[in-house]
Chains A and B, each alone.
Chain A
Amino acid sequence: MKTRTKKALILGFLVVVLGCAGTRPINQAEMWPKFNTDPAKGVVILEGAASCTIKFINATTNELFMEWSDRGESPALTFNGRAPTRVYITALPKGSWKLEIETFYYQNYIFPASRKLISLYRYTAGVWVGNDPRAFSDRQYTRKDWGWGVSIYTGDIPQYDYQSPTVDIQTTGIATDAVNFVRSLFR
């Protein structure tokens, strides 16, 4: 048997063994997983390339509690036609909350050289922080259960408003790791 064939066989065997062992618990601690026990802990998912501001308003007392401003993502590098998704895990006190979301971006002009603010969408979302620590199930990004959660689409920037060349990578599988690494360099 050639060395190359041996190496390939060993690699394949390792991949199969690790693949079988990796999905199941390998010790007593992993047999009893630590799921989320804090109902105040929640997740905010921001999809789309545009920037946004989020106001967390107490729905009962109608007072502003917190304000977020997300910078958005550059549309230069997209993955399957999508900009990178931002996932933030944060805590909110118990109660009902109103989220006021405003999405925007800046358009560049050559003549005269200037930047123009363009607002995309303005909408609201509701969040109820109760006693259940696993009320919101996120199966796409964090793949965990949280006390509360909200998924916000900030909107995509039209190609006309972004004159620079763009790259769209269309792959699936483990190539996502490579794409995420490249994205981390661009950020």
Chain B
Amino acid sequence: MKLPKTCALFFCFILLVVVAECAATEIPQLVIKKYPSQIEPTHPPLQTIKADDPFYSVAGDPSLVTFTSATDRKLHITIDDRYKFYLPPGKSKCFAFPINSGREDIAKHTVRVRVERLTQYYGSWDTIRTFNFYIHLDGQPQIFYLSDR
């Protein structure tokens, strides 16, 4: 049986295609390129906002965080190990935090609350509590009621 020339050429081509497919198996199935971020995280200064300021709309601002004291004791608050203040009993303080710009290290904030409990026989006893909160673009204003326990 003798094959015509075109048929032989066709089979050669198929063979070439199969060989090319097999030869290309050295290429990995998935190639990943990673690019380092060019945007450095910024830490703008923390601003204190008066809640009753008529020129500042607080409705729905996700950057606003309010700390309210729900105790009769004095609260020593530290935010991100940089901003330190104390909260008198029954008072509240409002802050405007920088909004998350896509980097997690900007959005996450750590609060450290220290409460001094004065006792008659044992001196002062400190209760230290730490918690985190996040600022999201699609979030809401947050209020934290801080108790002494």
Contacts and interface: CB of A to CB of B under 8 A. Distances in A.
A60 B101 contact: yes
Interface stretch (A28-36, A65-73, A117-125, A152-160): A65-73
Contact of B30 (A60, A70, A110): A70
Interface string A161-173: 0011100000000
Interface stretch (B34-42, B61-69, B88-96): B34-42
A71 B28 contact: yes
Given A94-B104, A110-B13, A164-B17, A66 B34 contact: yes
Contacts of B137: 60
A10 to B, nearest CB: 42
A68 to B, nearest CB: 6
A63 B104 contact: no
> What class of interface size applies to chain B in its complex with A?
20 to 34
B140 to A, nearest CB: 15
Interface residues of A, number: 26
Interface string A49-66: 000000000111101111
Contact of A70 (B29, B33, B35): B29
B101 A61 contact: yes
Contacts of B101: 60-61
A164 B34 contact: no
A61 B29 contact: no
Interface of A: 58-61, 63-71, 74, 76, 86, 88, 93-95, 108, 110, 163-165, 187
